[in-house]
Structure 1
Amino acid sequence: MKKMMNTPTLEEETNVAVIGAVIAVVLVTLLSVIVLIIIYMYKNKGTYRTYEHREADREGSVQMEDLSNKGEKEEYFI
């Protein structure tokens, strides 16, 4: 009893190549998107200023902003 080896046909080889190429393109695209998201998040950390009362100020008093440029003229828009 002889075992016959099944050699893939040209059509099967083409199908395997196409499937491999599609998987490779999807993986490269996914990795590119992940890298772009990481770069975007790294560059846009952002800082912001809040004007809320601190926890230590429980009296509820309103305080004016600290004006460090007292010597300069102030502009008022009406």
Structure 2
Amino acid sequence: MAWTTMDIAIMAGVITAVAVFLVGLLLLILHYMYRHKGTYRTHEDKGTEFAESADAALQGDPSLQDAGDSSRKEYFI
């Protein structure tokens, strides 16, 4: 079977369209991975990063002053 210039042009067009689609998909995936690389914001109390322990950091918290029994402590991370 002899290839005509029309057949070659159609095949080249299809191959080009698939290549452009794959490059676009790759760029979209790289953009998503760059934007969502694991950074997040925390809303921690000021001054707790210098505390000796978790107990010392939470002693000054007014919402925990009436916690009751201090022998059982529970921390949520």
Question: What's the TM-score, normalizing by structure 1?
Answer: 0.54
Deviation at 1:21, TM superposition (A): 0.3
The unaligned stretches of length 5 or more in structure 1 are: 1-5, 52-60, 65-78
2: CA distance, partners of 1:37 / 1:62: 40
Match of 2:3 among 5, 8, 15: 8
Match of 1:46 among 36, 40, 65: 40
1:22 is the counterpart of 2:24: no
Name the structure, 1 or 2, with higher relative contact order (CA <8 Å, separation 6+): 2
Q: Displaced runs of 4+ in structure 1, greater than 6 A? A: none
Q: Which amino acid aligns with 2:21?
A: V
Higher helix share: 2
The unaligned stretches of length 5 or more in structure 2 are: 46-61, 66-77
Question: What's the TM-score, normalizing by structure 2?
Answer: 0.54
